[in-house]
A and B are shown apart, each in its own frame.
Chain A
Amino acid sequence: MNEILSGLLQAGQMILTLDPDLIEISLRSLQVTLSAVFVASLIGLPLGCWLAVRRFRFRRIVIAMLNALMGLPPVVVGLIVYILLSRSGPFGVFGLLFTPTAMIIAQVVILTPLIASISHQAIRDLWAEYHDLLISLNTTRRQRILTLLWDGRRALLTASLAGFGRGIGEVGAIMIVGGNIDHATRVLTTAISLETGKGNFALALALGFVLIGLAVAVNLVIHMLSRTEVSGRW
């Protein structure tokens, strides 16, 4: 109980004094996860939409696979990305291992199926609603997808936010491919894991509270932005 209280106090203190280490790893956490969410959304949102609109023979299997990939253990993803990026691996020449880029790549792999799957479900419902109208109006497949992406943008935002939530709290994959190197690849979750291991519970807890605060703040900001953008219309 004491530890939680002193953790809270320490968190408050570190934030108020703008602790440089804390700022650095928080910003890196944000940078890695926001980049990964951005790339994963760029792939996952249209993919989910396309799967909802397009009828093809292996559609069900692809969707089942997507749902299975959603449950990929991050540690395994990290391991595979590690092997691919390591010096002897196929992408070794780029020297990406133990850089934030490697962490972003691993998170993109984890987040894309999640974002694609959630957006697929949302768009599928919207498509069922719009189907007859869009067919009757002779829209092209491209127009259908763009229309569904636009009209479903709130649900898609939710999908991306779910991705953010998963990414910001993820530790297994980025620990492996990033290596938790101080001033290079250390982020909030890996720092928490490290400090806990060292027995610095108060510091670990402080970092944990910052992490939670960050996740909540990003969600709030995005919701507020989307509301001002669409208020009056939506």
Chain B
Amino acid sequence: MVGSILPLQVENAVVRRRGKVLLGPVNTQVATEGLSIVMGPNGAGKTTLLRMLHGMERLARGGRLTWQVPEPQARAAQAFVFQAPIMMRRSALDNVAYPLIVHGVARAQARARAAEWLARVGLSDSADKRATVLSGGERQKMALARALIRDPQILFLDEPCANLDGQATREFEEILRGAHAGGTRIVMSTHDVGQARRLAEDIWFIHHGCILETTPADQFFENPKSKEARAFLKGDIVE
């Protein structure tokens, strides 16, 4: 077992594409525990921020992510749920077992654990279905099981409920709460203010690629620090 990879120190992280700054500079710390929700208008850089933290974006020179353990171990203890879940052309069971198999767990054992996880997210009946025939809600639950199966220390989720109805969203949040209670650090973006209120311990508000504030949730919804966040919560167009 690796020691805790958190807290994560982010220094001067800037993401550029074709000379344009998409994100940053970001200077922040991701604490050991908590459930943080990233909010901000479309195109603010939420996806880019999450991908950057997960190590999937190249940083401009001078930027640094510092985990408490060396990079490869830190990578192994993270998981990511993408906005559009990626369905491998395999059965749901084999999709969930895949992360274990590529990290050296014997196939039979990986399948057994995948079956347990499918049961936990309520997809036991779909285990042998092709992943590509699952419904939107089932897909996201399957992707969540696949992300959690290696028991990550930190889980990133990018608008995982954007296409789910109320019922599916509730079920998804329940599983997420379970993971959080089990000690998984969660960083998730959402457009859904209701969802943010239900789940968040703190809010990171991001605009034009910069984190304008990181505020405890109750305080954020009562009285956000930045005027952009205030406008965003009122439903105004954020300039």
Chain A residues engaging chain B, CB cutoff 8 angstroms: 126, 129-130, 132-133, 135-139, 143, 147, 151-152, 232-234
Contacts and interface: CB of A to CB of B under 8 A. Distances in A.
Contact of A136 (B54, B89, B91): B54
Nearest to A139: B102
Interface in B83-97: 86, 88-91
Nearest to B129: A233
Contacts of A152: 89
Interface of A is mostly: helix
Contacts, number: 41
Interface of B: 54, 56, 72, 75-76, 78-80, 82, 86, 88-91, 98-99, 102-103, 128, 130
B88 A151 contact: yes
B128 A232 contact: yes
Nearest to A136: B80
Contacts of B86: 129-130, 132-133
Contacts of A136: 54, 56, 78-80, 82
A233 B90 contact: yes
Contacts of B98: 137, 147
Contact of B56 (A135, A139, A151): A135
A224 B238 CA distance: 58
A234 B89 contact: yes
A152 B82 CA distance: 22
Nearest to B54: A136
Nearest to A133: B86
A129 to B, nearest CB: 7
Contacts of A129: 86
B127 to A, nearest CB: 11
B187 to A, nearest CB: 14
* B78, B102, B103, B128 pick with most chain A CB within 10 angstroms: B102
A130 B146 CA distance: 14
A78 B99 CA distance: 47
Interface centre among A130, A137, A143, A147 (most CB of B within 10 A): A137
A132 B146 CA distance: 14
A133 B102 contact: no
A139 B82 CA distance: 17
A151 B90 contact: yes
A137 B128 contact: no
A147 to B, nearest CB: 8
A166 B54 CA distance: 46
A152 B88 CA distance: 10
Contacts of B130: 233-234
Given A132-B82, A138-B75, A233-B91, 4 more contacts: A136-B80, A138-B76, A151-B89, A233-B130
Contacts of B103: 138
A151 B128 CA distance: 16
